[in-house]
Chain A
Amino acid sequence: MDRRDFLKGAAIGMAAIAIPPVNASASYLETFFQKYYREMTPEDKKKVVERLEKEYREKYHKDIRVKTTEAIPGVLYGYGLDLSRCIGCRRCVYACVTENNLSRSNPQIQYITVLQFKNGEKWVTDLEESEKYYNPETVPAPDHFYMPVQCQQCEDPPCVRVCPTQATYKAEDGIVVVDYNWCIGCRYCMAACPYGARKFNWGEWNVPTDQINTNTHYLGNRPKIKGSVEKCTFCIQRVREVPGRYTACVEICPVGARKFGNLLDPASEIRLLIETKRVFRLKEELNTNPKFYYFFSL
């Protein structure tokens, strides 16, 4: 067998693996050949959504709505987090889990990680010193402070640059999203993200049926696919509504540490806080240019 034959054989072999078995259901085939979201026409989107909603109804016996709301023109989302106020209570973590239908176990997926630091010790430059498994009776624990970390929605996202299929990309309103059907699970993006913000579905998506949030977005909190990566989308299913709702983490925060708004609107709270408070962005030296601003109100 010469090299040419070998390559031919290999190509046929690969094609055989790549093409699903003939007895696969029509729906399976449609899913398999589902188009790249950004190339879908409005009709394509409508058809795909209808099929997904039908599938979900059969699988979960629930009417799960899948929206494909487009970005609002003239909007670039930004986020502010007041480190002077955060007390590390983790309300945001589970408001997010609930809103975004994150797998509850095997593996447990959470978009927000709250880090605890000891007063006076290394922190922003060395997050490795932090504790994410803190569990005192009440928070804030004496002599400690807290910093929640989630996707920083970079303007120059390293995760997008390394994605071999362009499954993950930055939408017009600045939200970095994942087309779950187009994700091949290579996890390059997870290695590239300096913030540990991306999570991988090692197992089947699992959320108890009665706990599913049925208001979902195609690029957001719809049921996930095993083997795909997911991440915070600034609650795309909420913020792109007209009028746009605040994210779940903003609304739950008992100390009001979380701020959200349009960076292009000079009267938005995010712009005002950037103007009037001292802000910084995490790992700015990597030139990821996050749209997530930490600030100190005190």
Chain B
Amino acid sequence: MKKTVIGKRLTMFSVVMPAVILVFFLTITGRAEEKPGAPVPGNHSQASPQAVPQPTASPQPANQPNVSKPLSATPQQTDNANAADAGKETRFGIPKFFTTKPPLTPGIFPCSQCHAAMTPNKQRRELGFHQDVVLNHATKQRWCLDCHDANDRDKLKLANGDLIPFTESYFLCGQCHGNIFRDWKTGIHGKRIGYWNGEKQYYLCVNCHNQHSPKFQPLKPLPMPARPHSGDVVKGTTSVDIEGKKIYIPVYK
């Protein structure tokens, strides 16, 4: 790297010709096609035989100041003692930050605006209200009041009878989906946004799963890439809004 700039430009030239020839050769043999996985002969010979360092096996401790651990040992303050204890049981506490409020239909909360005046009916039945609630979640073994409290409709109810606010619905889901709950806390299931070495915001289970029919709904895929030699000409771009983020997609002729 001590070469002078001019020297460097000349060196570049001396590699351009063989390069052009090689690339031409690769192109005509179809090797340079932009498809992941085009096998490249010669890669084997390039692969060094010596032991490959494993990044994960690095003995270096991660004691850099930048990496804060917002998840560790700070269970969220809840007004529910048992719920907070649940966080302490595992390696990581309950996260503190959430992207959104519970995605309740606007105007429906507090539920007590109607329910306070109603006598709870614990009977399993065809409902004359809440038509949009389709229970498709192990329906046979389940009824509304397994999760909603009969007397305080503004709260959710755990199996042990504890009441939790809607903002902590993950405790409810976590009772039956323990493995997923554990993965969710560490960021492996579900999604966190924000800072990889700082504060993270969590998506609630109910941001992605409808609590009553939790199967993830299929999505319309965004446009495919332009196919070579097919007349896919990019006419322009248009934007789509995804969770408040504007992204640009091609429009083909």
Q: Is the CB of A271 within 8 A of B234?
A: no
Q: In the complex the two chains form, what is the Cα distance from A104 to B12 in whole Å?
A: 29
Residues of chain B with a CB closer than 8 A to A254's CB = 208, 219, 242-243
Contact between A244 and B69 (Cβ–Cβ < 8 Å)?
no
With the chains together, A91 CA to B234 CA distance in Å?
18
Residues on A with C-beta less than 8 A from B239 are 211
Counting CB contacts under 8 A, is A15 at the interface? Answer: yes
* Known pairs A195-B36, A256-B208; A276 contacts B188 (CB<8 A): yes
CB neighbours of B8 from chain A (8 A): 165
A78 within 8 A of B: yes
User: A188 contacts B222, CB within 8 Å?
Assistant: no
Enumerate chain A residues within 8 angstroms of B159, measured Cβ to Cβ.
none
Expressed in whole angstroms, the Cα–Cα distance for A179 and B152 within the complex equals 62
A-B pair count, CB < 8 Å, reads 279
A244 touches B208 (CB 8 A): no
Residue interface bits B198-217, CB-to-A below 8 A is 1, else 0 = 11000100001000000010
From B22, B64, B222, B233, contact of A73 by CB (8 A): B64
| Binary B-proximity of A107-140 (CB < 8 A = 1, otherwise 0) | 1101001010000000000111010111111111
Whether the Cβ atoms of B15 and A252 lie closer than 8 Å is no
Identify which of residues 257-273 in chain A touch chain B, using a CB-to-CB cut-off of 8 Å: 259-269, 271-273
A249 smallest CB distance to B (angstroms): 11
Interface positions, chain B 41-55, Cβ under 8 Å from A, are 42-44, 46-48, 52-55
CB-based contact A262/B197 at 8 Å: yes
Are B64 and A286 in touch, CB under 8 angstroms? no
Q: Of A90, A135, A194, A267, which is within 8 A of B69 by CB?
A: A267
Question: Are B58 and A263 within 8 A (Cβ)?
Answer: yes
The count of chain A contact residues (Cβ–Cβ below 8 Å) is 110
CB-CB under 8 A from B71, the residues of chain A are 267
Chain B contacts for A94, CB-based, 8 A: 222, 240, 247-249
| Chain B CB within 8 A of A33 CB | yes
Closest Cβ neighbor of B8 among chain A residues: A165
B36 touches A149 (CB 8 A): yes
Contact call B62/A255, Cβ cutoff below 8 A: no
A278 at the interface (CB under 8 A from B): no
Alpha-carbon distance A239/B195, docked complex (angstroms): 8
Which residues in A have their C-beta under 8 angstroms from that of B60? 74, 264
Alpha-carbon distance between A196 and B20 when the two chains are bound, in angstroms: 19
Which of B19, B54, B194 is in CB contact (< 8 Å) with A186? B19
B31 to chain A, nearest CB (A): 6
Per-position binary interface string of chain B over residues 26-49, scored 1 when its CB falls under 8 Å from any chain A CB and 0 otherwise? 100001101111111011101110
Contact present for A245 and B194 (CB under 8 Å): yes
Task: Name the interface size band of chain B.
Answer: 35 or more
Contact of A287 with B48 in the complex, beta carbons under 8 Å: yes
Complex Cα spacing A106 to B236, Å: 11
> A53 at interface (Cβ–Cβ under 8 A)?
no
- Tell me the bound Cα distance from A252 to B191 in angstroms: 9
**Other-chain residue from A208, A272, A289 in contact with B54 (beta carbon distance below 8 A):** A289
Those of A37-93 within 8 Å (CB) of chain B: 38-39, 72-76, 78, 82, 87-91, 93
The verdict on B6 contacting chain A, using a C-beta distance below 8 Å, is yes
User: In chain B, what residue has the closest Cβ to A261?
Assistant: B196
Q: Does A226 contact B (CB under 8 A)?
A: no
Counting CB contacts under 8 A, is B187 at the interface?
Answer: yes
Interface contact B225-A132, CB-CB below 8 Å: yes
How many whole Å from B94's CB to the nearest CB in chain A? Answer: 15
The 6 closest A-B pairs by CB, nearest first: A127-B37, A243-B198, A186-B19, A256-B191, A105-B234, A74-B64
Q: Which residues of B contact A (CB under 8 A)?
A: 1, 5-6, 8-13, 15-16, 19-20, 22-23, 26, 31-32, 34-40, 42-44, 46-48, 52-56, 58, 60, 62-64, 66-69, 71-72, 183, 186-199, 203, 208, 216, 218-227, 233-234, 237, 239-240, 242-243, 245-250
Given contacts A94-B222, A139-B221, 11 further A-B contacts (CB under 8 A): A74-B67, A75-B64, A108-B234, A194-B37, A211-B248, A243-B66, A246-B194, A254-B208, A256-B190, A265-B62, A287-B47
12 residue pairs from A and B, CB less than 8 Å apart = A94-B248, A105-B250, A136-B221, A149-B37, A162-B46, A187-B32, A191-B32, A192-B46, A245-B196, A246-B194, A286-B44, A289-B55
